[in-house]
Amino acid sequence: MQAQVLPLESCPALVLNADFQPLSYFPLSLWHWQTVVKAVFLDRVQIVSEYDRVIRSPSFEFRLPSVIALKKYIKPAKHPAFTRFNLFLRDRFTCQYCGGTQRNGLDLTFDHVVPRAHGGRTTWENVTTACAPCNLSKGGRTPKEADMMPMSWPYQPTVFQLQANGRAFPPNHLHESWRDYLYWDTVLEP
């Protein structure tokens, strides 16, 4: 009987920066195998660990990397981009008014803590994560008027803070060779 061969599509590589820290925790920095092969041949990455899966062509045989590290260090931006995703990540995908999360099936939205009608701006310091019911019930009122104070006042996060939050959301599948490079809280539990 032949050993089961992993489909190539299920063989992404975990990408580490030159300091062996994952480029990103959430979403986890993974590259498609074809991108990985290209980067290896261009000599841009170092292979850290491999799958058992071998790809062959008439001229070469190659074990697919499961963990790679960039040869050139990419300096992380100090301030992450003000995006929908990063804002939810700052707030850990949690409504800042009731503490509800997407995991509870809630739809998450944005709330201007100081409403736009009161001069509130669309910035890191004034936009927070709110579930749809909280957003609706707060309406166009200030926290004081609505008697709804956000659990944490919105702030501009650093990349480091977002990375730390991202570590709390491990993906469903982690290849065993990745574990040495990912220090998930969940993995450390007995």
Q: What is the binding site for Zn ion (CB under 5 A)?
A: 95, 97-98, 100, 131, 134
Task: State how far the Cα of 150 lies from the Cα of 106, in Å rounded to an integer.
Answer: 17
Task: State how far the Cα of 143 lies from the Cα of 149, in Å rounded to an integer.
Answer: 5
CB of 64 or CB of 134, closer to Zn ion: 134
Burial degree of 181 (CB within 10 A; 0-12, 13-18, 19+): middle
Give the three-state DSSP class for 111: strand
Chain centroid to CA 164: 10
CB of 120 to Zn ion, least distance (A): 19
CB of 97 to Zn ion, least distance (A): 5
48: left (phi over 0), alpha (psi -120 to 50) or beta: alpha
Residue count of the chain, please give it: 190
CB of 14 or CB of 131, closer to Zn ion: 131
Beta-bridge partner residues of 6? none
Task: State how far the Cα of 107 lies from the Cα of 133, in Å rounded to an integer.
Answer: 9
CB of 90 to Zn ion, least distance (A): 16
Structure tokens that stand for 146 in this block: 């609505």
CB of 34 or CB of 104, closer to Zn ion: 104
CB of 115 to Zn ion, least distance (A): 17
CB of 107 to Zn ion, least distance (A): 10
CB of 128 or CB of 163, closer to Zn ion: 128
CB of 23 or CB of 98, closer to Zn ion: 98
